[in-house]
Amino acid sequence: MFQGLTQGAMLYILHKNEPKVDAGRVVSVNTHLPQYNPAQPQAILNGMVTDITVSVNGDTIPFVGLPASASVANFADKGVFLSEDKSLVINEISTMQENCRRVIESYDTNKDLYDKYTALLETLVPEKAQESQIVSLKSEIAELKSMLSAVLGSKAKEEK
């Protein structure tokens, strides 16, 4: 639990967006009741909070308002997962990896569905079909232009 941490204890910080894990040393710990915030009056009911300052790679990072009785904190908005227990960080990484695997495995199914939805929209909204055909024709014209200029360019070289 965060409230049981002491100066010099290890704290693991998982940066989900990078991904990487930093191990830091606790510099200071302060457990207290949360300050009353009129915007979040129910926060007082959640119990004690712990403020922890951690030294990581020469930087000092404060973590404020961690649940005192918890062993993990997830800052989804910052893409940071914090824990005093390395095995809990490993579990979080494994969960994220599993989620990625599911997304990768569902790619073909979703690609197929996307194509079917596109075709369905084109039958229901004729303008969509026309837009798609126009884009396709423009692409073909651009290919023909490049092929024609390549042929004419090589013919001009032969004549010289």
CA–CA separation, 108 and 59 (whole Å): 44
Cα pseudo-dihedral 79, 85, 23, 99, rounded to 10 = -40
pLDDT under 70: residue ranges of the chain: 35-46, 128-129, 155-160
Q: Give me the pLDDT at residue 160, please.
A: 60
The residue extents of the domains of the chain are 2-86, 107-159
What does the pLDDT read at residue 34?
Answer: 72
pLDDT at 42 (0 to 100): 59
pLDDT tens digit string along 8-26? Answer: 999 999 999 999 999 999 9
What's the pLDDT score for residue 133? 81
CATH topology for 2-86 is: SH3 type barrels. (2.30.30)
Q: What is the pTM of this model?
A: 0.66
The contacts of residue 33 (CB under 8 Å, 6+ apart) are 44, 48, 49
Residue 5, C-beta contacts closer than 8 angstroms, at least 6 positions apart: 11, 26, 29, 50, 52, 84
